Structure formats: C-alpha cells, structure tokens
C-alpha cells in the first residue's frame, strides 16, 4: 500500500513537472513569436498635387510637384508596424484667373518627416495596407513664376478686380510645418525580403506659411496635398 502511494506521488510529481515544462516551452515559443521583430529600409519617389487653404479665400487650383525619400519600417505583430520617413516634397499652389490672361504659381520645397502607424493585411506575396500619423516638416526653399509684376499689380491694366492679392507678393516666413497624413496602398513581396509598394497619401497641414496675427492679411494659410508614390524596400532582419 505504501509503495502504491509512493508511486502515485511520483506520478503526480512527474505530471506537474511535465506540465511546467510544457507551459515554459509554450511561453517561450509565444515570446519568440511576439518578439520576432522585422526591419526594412527602402526608398520611394512620386508626384504631389497640392494647394493652399487660405482665410480669406483665394481663387486657386492644384499644382504638381515631385517627391523622393527614404523609409524605415519596423514591425512585430502580424498586422501592425511603424514607419519613419524623411522626404523631400514640393508643394504650393496655382492661382486661378479664370478667363483673364494671367498666371501665377508658387512652389514650396519641404523636408518632411512622417511618423506613421502601419496596418497591413493579406498573404505571403501581396499585402494591402493603411498608414496614418503625424507629419513634421521644414521649408527649405520657395520660388514663384508669373507673367506679370507681382509688386506692381495696381498699375496692371485689366487685372481682375475684387481679388485678394497679398499672397502674390508676400514671401512665406513661417518655415515649420506640421499636420496629419493618411494613406493606403498595395505591396508585392518577392522572395520574402524584397517589397515593391504603391501608395496614395493625403496630407492635411495645420501650420501656416504666412503670419496669422489679428493685424495680418490671412488668419489661415495651410497646405494640403495628395501624393502618389512607387517604392522599394529590403527586409534586413
């Protein structure tokens, strides 16, 4: 009887030990799956279509520009990651003179740093994705082209009346920019480590390019843009 009790105790001890080993093994595997981080580096380039949001309003249309940049991407979860980029982007606006024979276009050159949440879904070869997050930038240059003298508008015959014109001759003085970016796209995975991605992204600017105090002409002079890019990235981990 005593031997049977001893055997039972030993079996219970071995069962508990086996259960503990299985639990530890499972936990270790889960931890490895959870912390199996991946990292990629790449670049992208494309075109932008942008305009401004002025208050008081200005008659304008979108202007086309260029962009190019580097992208770093980090992800652990199956459908979740983070993206940091450093981009050169051209933005600006084009005045809409309707039937009048005048033209004016201003380009704003920025270095932009988006910090994006990356949500992706799909299979081993094709993924769809959404990107969302804040974006910070600094204006490194500006230029304009026109077929009239922006500093002598009052002496130009037949210039459109009842039109805001201060933005034509004012130079942007507020260099720092910030806003929100949201995009969606598709990526193709080639041999696990190579990725080609196509994305469309919208940017809503919050910072102004002109002074915005009560005495100033514009209370708002914010940029918005649409960006379409084609990129490549290489998974290094």
Q: pLDDT for 188-235, tens place per residue?
A: 999 889 999 999 999 999 999 999 988 888 999 999 999 999 999 999
Q: What is the CA radius of gyration of the chain?
A: 28
Evaluate if residue 17 carries a pLDDT over 60. Answer: no
pLDDT at residue 35 in the model: 55
CATH architecture type of domain 37-235: Beta Barrel (2.40)
Evaluate if residue 163 carries a pLDDT over 70. Answer: yes
Question: Could you give the percent of the chain with pLDDT greater than 90?
Answer: 67
Which DSSP letter does residue 159 get? Answer: P
CB 42 within 8 A of CB 71: yes
pLDDT at residue 79 in the model: 85
228 CB-contact burial (10 Å; exposed 0-12 / middle 13-18 / buried 19+): middle
CB 96 within 8 A of CB 159: no
Confidence of residue 4 (pLDDT cuts 50, 70, 90): very low
pLDDT at residue 15 in the model: 41
Nearest to 68 by CA among 82, 49, 39, 48: 48
Average pLDDT over residues 121-149: 93
CB 180 within 8 A of CB 135: yes
Longest CA pairwise span in the chain (Å): 118
pLDDT at residue 214 in the model: 87
pLDDT at residue 95 in the model: 93
DSSP string, 31-86: HHHHT--EEEEEEEEEEEEEEEEEES---EE-EEEEEEEEEEEEE-SSSEEEEEEE
Confidence of residue 187 (pLDDT cuts 50, 70, 90): very high
pLDDT at residue 116 in the model: 96
pLDDT at residue 54 in the model: 94
Cα dihedral across residues 53, 182, 69, 84: positive or negative: positive
CB 104 within 8 A of CB 95: yes
pLDDT at residue 34 in the model: 55
pLDDT mean across residues, the chain = 86
pLDDT at residue 106 in the model: 96
6: helix, strand or coil: helix
Average pLDDT over residues 179-194: 94
Distance in angstroms (rounded) separating the CA atoms of residues 236 and 16: 42
Asked which of 17-21, 33-37, 75-79, 165-169 is least confident by mean pLDDT, the reply is 17-21
Average pLDDT over residues 171-198: 94
Distance in angstroms (rounded) separating the CA atoms of residues 101 and 130: 42
The model carries a pTM of 0.80
Q: Which residues of 96-110 are buried (b: 16+ CB within 10 A; e: fewer)?
A: ebeeeebebbbbbbb
Each residue of 22-47: pLDDT tens digit? 344 444 444 444 557 889 999 999 99
pLDDT at residue 44 in the model: 97
Confidence of residue 16 (pLDDT cuts 50, 70, 90): very low
Each residue of 100-120: pLDDT tens digit? 999 999 999 999 999 999 999
Measured in Å, how far apart are the chain's first and last C-alpha atoms?
Answer: 60
């Amino acid at each position: 009887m005593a031997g049977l009790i001893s055997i039972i105790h030993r079996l219970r001890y071995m069962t508990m030990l086996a259960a503990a080993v299985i639990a530890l093994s499972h936990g270790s595997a889960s931890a490895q799956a959870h912390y199996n981080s991946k990292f990629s580096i790449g670049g992208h380039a494309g075109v932008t279509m942008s305009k401004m949001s002025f208050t008081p309003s200005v008659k304008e249309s979108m202007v086309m520009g260029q962009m190019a940049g580097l992208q770093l991407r980090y992800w652990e979860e199956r459908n979740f990651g983070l993206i940091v980029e450093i981009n050169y982007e051209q933005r600006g606006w084009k005045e809409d003179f309707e039937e009048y024979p005048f033209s004016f276009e201003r380009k704003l050159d920025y270095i932009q740093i988006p910090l994006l949440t990356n949500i992706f879904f799909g299979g081993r070869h094709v993924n769809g994705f959404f990107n969302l997050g804040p974006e910070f930038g600094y204006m490194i240059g500006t230029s304009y082209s026109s077929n009239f003298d922006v500093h002598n508008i009052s002496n130009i015959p037949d210039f459109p009346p009842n039109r805001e014109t201060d933005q034509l001759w004012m130079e942007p003085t507020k260099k720092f920019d910030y806003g929100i970016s949201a995009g969606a796209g598709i990526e193709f995975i080639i041999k696990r480590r190579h990725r080609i991605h196509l994305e469309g992204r919208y940017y809503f600017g919050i910072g102004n390019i002109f002074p915005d105090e009560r005495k100033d002409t514009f209370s708002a002079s914010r940029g918005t843009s649409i960006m379409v890019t084609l990129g490549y990235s290489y998974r290094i981990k």
